[in-house]
Amino acid sequence: MPTAVEAARPLTALSEEEAMFQAAVRQFAREQVGPRVREMDDAARFDPGLLRGIFEMGLMAIESPEEYGGQGGSFFQAALAVEELAAVDASAALVVDVQNTLVANAVLRWASDEQKRRYLPRLAADTVGAYALSEAGAGSDAFALATRATESGDEYALNGRKVWISNAHEAGLFLVFANINPEAGYRGITCFLVERGFPGFQVGKKEDKLGIRASSTCELILDNCRVPKSNVMGEPGKGYKIAIETLNEGRIGIGAQMIGIARGALDQARAYARERRQFGKAISEFQGVQFDLARMATDLEAARLLVYNAARLRDAGMPFTAEAAMAKYFASRVAETVASRAVEIFGGVGFTKDCPAEKFYRDSKIGAIYEGATNMQLLTIARQVLERK
């Protein structure tokens, strides 16, 4: 007999396994990530020791099966990990997010058995992955990409430049999208597994950013980069499908990152409101501040329900594209407004780098931009709304 909770299945009720996993990541985030946040943000550099710790915790291969060195967990668990890390540091969350929801996710679904055997154990053990779609002239219009791949013997030669590639500074494996047949338009786009050491491959300029500063964002230079044909992932010309379908899932991870940011900001603001005294009492005793905290908590809960629902739909094999777009769109807005209110609750202190709310606010901004800017999410949602009878 299922328990009442199992029968009702509230979205936020975790199974025993999920709850244990969440508690372990929360502890790791508090003990291992927390003390490094300020220094990593100031230096705009991800601590290599922390990266090793993240691998050792198994957080870089949450969904990968155990036979490849992974945890054999669910996509929902990956979202839980991203949320827990983002409540402390959104950059640490992004490293885990890209690895799980984009790179390993795509390899699990599209790579050949031989490619899985070659790359999944490395992605689980010590190799950071990156996802390279965007170019200077191809952002929202991603399929306008100009990187070309030309066949020569048992190799392809890749030529072009990618921009904005997360984790590129640390990464050893890159999923690179290039066009093998420009006349066929987007139907020429092909996905390549590119190792950092391949001849003609170079990581270029690193961006100096407003937020998620410890997460590296770099240009990639492909100058006659030689990629063996055995490193084409999926069918040639089907890269567009890999890109769309992976990003549909990936944006649930960004939603999770955004609810983590909102939670982190709310927790800090609540603690401060209880402690800060003005007019002879804690500011949490003023109804104006209480209502702020109430709105922040309500917005966060609504965003969490959207994110959890999208992740659970994905795990259940049910359609989730519109739900994922809604989750990312809404959660990114909530992260920004909650973090902004948190800055105000801290008053003058909130405007300084000594205050965690300041960083949550800066980090929140990226949610409305990457893995499809807000207008792109609205287009996806609108399409589904208009299709409904």
Residues that bind ligand FAD (CB under 6 A): 131-134, 139-140, 164-166, 209, 217, 366, 369-375
Helix (H), strand (E) at residue 107? helix 105-110
- Identify whether 336 is a catalytic site residue: no
CB of 382 to ligand FAD, least distance (A): 11
Nearest of 100, 227, 215 to residue 164 by alpha carbon: 215
Nearer to ligand FAD, 28 or 360 (CB): 360
Nearer to ligand FAD, 162 or 312 (CB): 162
Cα–Cα dist 366/379, whole Å: 19
CB of 8 to ligand FAD, least distance (A): 38
CB of 95 to ligand FAD, least distance (A): 11
CB of 374 to ligand FAD, least distance (A): 6
CB of 151 to ligand FAD, least distance (A): 24
Nearer to ligand FAD, 209 or 314 (CB): 209
Cα–Cα dist 151/324, whole Å: 37
Nearer to ligand FAD, 132 or 259 (CB): 132
Nearest of 374, 263, 254, 243 to residue 310 by alpha carbon: 254
**Exposure letters 264-276 (e unless 16+ CB within 10 A, then b):** bbbebbbebbeeb
Residue 369: count other Cβ atoms within 10 Å of its Cβ. 13
Nearest of 239, 43, 286, 252 to residue 142 by alpha carbon: 239
Tell me which residue has its CB nearest to ligand FAD: 139
CB of 196 to ligand FAD, least distance (A): 15
Nearer to ligand FAD, 211 or 350 (CB): 211
Using an 8 Å Cβ cutoff, are 46 and 91 in contact?
A: yes
The single residue of 135, 323, 358, 371 carrying the catalytic annotation is: 371
Nearer to ligand FAD, 68 or 164 (CB): 164
DSSP line for 312-340: HHHHTT---HHHHHHHHHHHHHHHHHHHH
- At 286, give phi and psi (nearest 5°): -85, 130
Compute the chain's Rg from CA coordinates: 21
291: left (phi over 0), alpha (psi -120 to 50) or beta: alpha
Catalytic residue numbers? 371
